[in-house]
């Protein structure tokens, strides 16, 4: 039988098989996913997020607004944002013009501590505060190469004005930008967020009492929050690589809890920093209140800073010499010469040597140029010179100060000689 006749006889069977195949339903994308321990993921609030045949995992957790995280409840954050609305100055942490639900708190976990293309973000976490709850959302990379669904799931649902991080300006967000560049044609565009980085505020306010301002140290010593059974952040890369090898999510779920606590602490830390800056409560040490004044002064809020220094000096039981020195400098700038002199003269009684040196040189300047009391100016230079000479080890700053003192004393001496000749004209003969 010819090949043509054989095909003709088989035709009806071929058509029937095609019809049967057409009636069969293809398995769904979800059914085709081979994700070990998928029930464990689902029990911990994680769902699959698909882009074509690729996927990531998205986990969501909610806390009531009354939930206490350390010394603050999350509802205090709303109070903090409201407090900024009446602020009349400028500050890098000011949320004036924003509502509490326009800010999101952001943290990542990566495969390494360095930057560059070789460092992969495997967990993107962010939190937002509504009127009734805090919602934490985490996007997890279940295998290398699935960054398109990871970033798509993140960027498709981010509708905020400002992100809040801890050292995120230097690390987290640049990493996001780097990874996004590689897949930008397949995912939504990166928004142009405002950015509050709380790491810099922590350094300013807490460096005098903490050896390290790592977030976990700030939590324990400043915010009153203590973690239990927490996975240290530096172990996160090893745990992720172990997950890639074994697919058991036990370790990764602990990393996700660590990331979740970081985000919750950012909410509490922003609240604390705001309360200190805006004087919403008085639960701060003199040192912390002084650093707040310094920060306000540094950011151009000199009037508010001056008020803080004045309050601190008035309310502290013992003299706050640092505040007195900074306030005197403010008085000098405002041409309130006698107020500045009175404060610096008070400092000479018992301040630390470093502050006394600063007070002496400032008094010497004012005596010479403002009050025209050259004898007192010379006396102050002599005292300062002796104080520097008695130092066990002179610093470069002291050496420079000594050189300047010599020139100042020579100038004052010449002025004194001219004054003497003017009052005793016969000495000219």
Confidence of residue 115 (pLDDT cuts 50, 70, 90): low
Residue 383 phi/psi, 5° resolution? -65, -40
Q: Say yes or no to pLDDT of 14 above 60.
A: no
When the pLDDT of each residue in the chain is averaged and rounded to a whole number, the result is: 88
Long-range contacts of 389-398 (CB under 8 A, 24+ apart): 391/353
- Give first-to-last CA distance, the chain, whole Å: 148
Tens-place pLDDT, residues 406-420? 999 999 999 999 888
Cβ-contact 140, 256 below 8 angstroms: yes
pLDDT at 424: 63
- Average confidence (pLDDT) over 62-81: 97
Give, as one character, the DSSP assignment of residue 165.
E
Which residues are CB-contacts of 41 (< 8 A; sequence separation ≥ 6)? 35, 57, 249
The residue-averaged pLDDT of 207-220 equals 93
DSSP state of 221: I
- Residue 291 has a pLDDT of 93
Can you give the pLDDT at residue 419? 84
- pLDDT category at 405 given cuts 50, 70, 90 is very high
pLDDT of residue 2: 52
Residue 4 pLDDT > 60, yes or no?
Answer: no
CA dist list (Å): 118 to 68, 115, 121, 179, 247: 39, 8, 10, 9, 22
* Domain residue spans of the chain: 32-277, 284-335, 352-424
Helix 321-333 and helix 302-315: axis angle, to 10°?
140
The model's pTM = 0.85
| Confidence check: pLDDT of 7 > 60 | no
pLDDT (tens digit per residue) in 53-71? 899 999 999 999 999 999 9
- Do the beta carbons of residue 384 and residue 405 sit within 8 Å? yes
Q: What angle do CA 110, 116, 120 make, to 5 degrees?
A: 30
Which residue is listed with tokens 């000098």? 332
Kindly give the residue spans of alpha helices, DSSP state H, lying in 353-395.
Answer: 353-369, 374-389
Yes or no: say if 72 and 140 are a contact pair by the CB < 8 Å rule.
Answer: no
| Cα-trace Rg, the chain | 33
Q: Which CATH superfamily is domain 32-277 in?
A: Ribonuclease H-like superfamily/Ribonuclease H (3.30.420.10)
Residue with tokens 């994308």: 29
CA angle 298, 303, 304 (to 5 degrees): 75
Supply the DSSP symbol for 373.
-
- Percent of the chain predicted with pLDDT > 70: 88
């Amino acid at each position: 039988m010819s090949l043509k006749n054989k095909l003709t006889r088989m035709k009806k069977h071929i058509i029937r098989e095609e019809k049967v195949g057409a009636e069969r339903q293809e398995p769904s994308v979800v059914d085709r996913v081979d994700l070990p321990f998928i029930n464990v993921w689902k029990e911990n609030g994680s769902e699959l997020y698909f882009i074509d045949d690729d996927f990531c995992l998205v986990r969501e957790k909610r806390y009531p607004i009354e939930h206490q995280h350390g010394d603050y409840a999350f509802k205090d954050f709303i109070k903090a944002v409201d407090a900024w609305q009446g602020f009349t100055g400028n500050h890098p942490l000011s949320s004036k013009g924003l509502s509490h639900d326009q800010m999101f708190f952001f943290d990542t976990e990566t495969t390494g501590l360095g930057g560059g293309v070789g460092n992969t973000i495997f967990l993107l976490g962010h939190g937002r505060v509504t009127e009734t709850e805090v919602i934490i959302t985490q996007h997890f990379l279940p295998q290398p190469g699935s960054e398109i669904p990871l970033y798509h799931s993140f960027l498709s649902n981010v509708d905020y004005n400002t992100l809040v991080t801890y050292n995120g300006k230097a690390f987290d967000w640049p990493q996001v930008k780097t990874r996004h560049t590689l897949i930008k044609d397949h995912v939504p565009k990166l928004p142009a967020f405002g950015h509050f980085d709380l790491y810099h505020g922590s350094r300013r306010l807490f460096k005098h009492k903490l050896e390290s301002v790592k977030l976990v140290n700030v939590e324990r010593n400043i915010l009153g929050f203590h973690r239990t059974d927490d996975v240290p952040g530096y172990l996160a890369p090893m745990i992720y690589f172990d997950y890639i090898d074994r697919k058991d999510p036990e370790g990764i779920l602990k990393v996700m809890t660590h990331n979740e606590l970081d985000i919750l602490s950012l909410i509490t830390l922003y609240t604390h920093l705001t309360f200190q800056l805006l004087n919403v409560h008085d639960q701060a040490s003199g040192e912390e209140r002084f650093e707040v004044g310094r920060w306000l002064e540094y950011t151009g809020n000199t009037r508010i800073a001056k008020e803080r220094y004045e309050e601190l000096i008035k309310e502290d039981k013992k003299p706050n010499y640092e505040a007195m020195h900074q306030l005197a400098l403010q008085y000098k700038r405002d041409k309130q010469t006698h107020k500045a002199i009175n404060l610096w003269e008070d400092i000479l009684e018992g301040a630390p040597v470093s502050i006394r040196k600063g007070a002496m040189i400032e008094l010497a300047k004012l005596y010479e140029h403002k009050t025209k009391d050259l004898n007192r100016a010379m006396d102050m230079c002599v005292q300062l010179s002796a104080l520097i000479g008695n130092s066990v080890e002179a610093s470069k700053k002291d050496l420079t100060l000594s050189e300047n003192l010599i020139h100042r004393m020579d100038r004052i001496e010449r002025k004194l000689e001219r004054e003497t000749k003017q009052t005793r004209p016969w000495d000219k003969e």
